[in-house]
Amino acid sequence: MLIFELLDQYEGICRRAFFGCGAKLNKTFKTNIIEILILIMCIPRKINFLQLGRYGRRGEQRYRQTFRRDFDWLCFNMNLAADRFQYGMKRLAIAIDPSYVSKAGKKTAHIGRFGSGCASAVKHGLEILGIAVIDADIKDAMMLRAVQTLNSTELEGKKITLNQWYLSVLKTYRTDLLKITSLLVADAAFSVLPFVEGLKEIGFSLISRLRSNAVLYYIYEGPRTGKRGRPKTKDGKIDFSNPDKNRMTRLDIAPEEGEAFELVAWCKSLKQKIRLVIHYLPGGGHRLYFSTDTSVCGKDVYDIYRTRFQIEFCFRDGHQFTGLLDCQARDEKALDFAYNASLAAVNITKVLRKQTKMPFSIGQIKSLMVNAHFIKRFFDLSGIDPNKTLNAKLVKELFGLTVDAA
């Protein structure tokens, strides 16, 4: 593929993703969004309103106005994910994960103190809840929506907990999310009874991880005694140092990953039966994965939970390449637009990489697009219409657009 065609193909992916995203979406707004998504991948440094005005075809104020408008990012990203994954044909799950976003000042919407996993501390700034779809077969994730989290003062005013806020966000988008799958995967912080019960009410089953010292019991499968009282349901506590492997099924995993066994067990903290996977690590110790839907097989629980970490790479790529931390705005709508546009640009790049079969990382593709944008901008302003086929080699040499340079 010619370097000249890279931006055109990126723009084509953007245009296809608009299918079904709002009947009242006018042409000008659509054109503005496409240009912003292209500029996000073509601006080499910080991506803010000043830079958009410098590199784009419109004034800075026009971009500020666009950022304050509503747009259905969930539908847009679901269309992109449909190009990357195949709904209904693979082992898919909805993944959620909160991410800390550094932000100074006191007047920004929802500013407060939030936990930062990288710093292992509570810091001043913002938090976004990322909602993604993951594919356990190809080990990848596509971000669907990012929503700002309320700070502690706002939660107290609404008289709700943080987990209840997360559930309210999922409830808002559940109709579209359930079209993909009813399985939701989250880290161990979400494996608590109120969250599990809240998910069940809105139609989702949870795949997550328990503490290594969680209290779990074997399920009693013997005959009924016929005596008065509640029938026996539990048949002894599971001793993870010496489990009864006759009641378990071994999972087929790579030898270097250790050993894994599955069974249906009773969880004391969640007060229900779960599909439990006990993973014994090669270096000692064990991990406990589970699904509240006992019909899900243990291999799917194991693979889906381990694929959950791909959502972290979406945040990482947003931080490093698409300006997730660069927005200058303080307005809630503008920040929401900025976060979702940044993560959508990562999604488009993943689709582009799949379609072009380029063996490059997102960082390398961004380098190519930055240089391709300079070339196109130079020719547009000079009024020259070059022969792209004849000059492709010269342009590559001039801008260093080789695999090594990228």
pLDDT at 288: 96
Q: Which of 124-133, 166-175, 350-359 has the lowest mean pLDDT?
A: 350-359
Indicate the pLDDT class of residue 259, thresholds 50, 70 and 90: very high
Whether 360 is covered by a domain: the verdict is yes
Whether 326 is covered by a domain: the verdict is no
Tens of pLDDT along 29-77?
Answer: 999 999 999 999 999 889 999 999 988 888 899 999 999 999 999 999 9
Give the residue with greater pLDDT, 140 vs 385.
140
| pLDDT of 162 over the 50 cut | yes
pLDDT at 370: 85
pLDDT at 227: 79
What's the predicted TM-score (pTM) here? 0.90
pLDDT at 283: 87
pLDDT at 389: 66
Whether 349 is covered by a domain: the verdict is yes
Range from 161-175, 240-254, 349-363 that averages highest in pLDDT: 161-175
Tens of pLDDT along 286-322?
Answer: 999 999 999 999 999 999 999 999 999 999 999 999 9
Q: Which of 4-13, 158-167, 276-285, 373-382 has the lowest mean pLDDT?
A: 373-382
Average pLDDT of the chain, as a whole number: 88
Q: Which of 5-9, 59-63, 267-271 has the lowest mean pLDDT?
A: 5-9
Give the residue with greater pLDDT, 382 vs 123.
123
Average pLDDT for 83-106: 86
pLDDT at 378: 73
pLDDT at 284: 87
Residues 344 and 287 in one domain: no
Residue ranges making up the domain that contains 361: 4-72+340-399
Domain end among 275, 294, 313 = 294
Average pLDDT for 281-286: 91
Indicate the pLDDT class of residue 231, thresholds 50, 70 and 90: confident
The structural domain count of the chain equals: 2
Q: What are phi and psi of 210, to 5 degrees?
A: -100, 165
Average pLDDT for 174-191: 94
Whether 325 is covered by a domain: the verdict is no
Domain end among 265, 294, 323 = 294
Whether 169 is covered by a domain: the verdict is no
Tens of pLDDT along 389-399?
Answer: 666 666 666 55
Tens of pLDDT along 353-388?
Answer: 888 887 788 888 888 888 777 777 777 776 666 666
CA 62, 68, 69, 74 torsion: positive or negative? positive
Give the residue with greater pLDDT, 240 vs 119.
240
pLDDT at 390: 65
Which amino acid, residue 114? F
Whether 302 is covered by a domain: the verdict is no
pLDDT at 226: 74
Average pLDDT for 154-158: 94
| pLDDT of 404 over the 60 cut | no
| pLDDT of 88 over the 60 cut | yes
- Is residue 331 within 8 A of residue 68, CB to CB? The reply is yes
Indicate the pLDDT class of residue 261, thresholds 50, 70 and 90: very high
Report percent pLDDT > 70 for the chain.
91
Average pLDDT for 184-188: 95
pLDDT at 369: 85
Whether 13 is covered by a domain: the verdict is yes
Whether 392 is covered by a domain: the verdict is yes
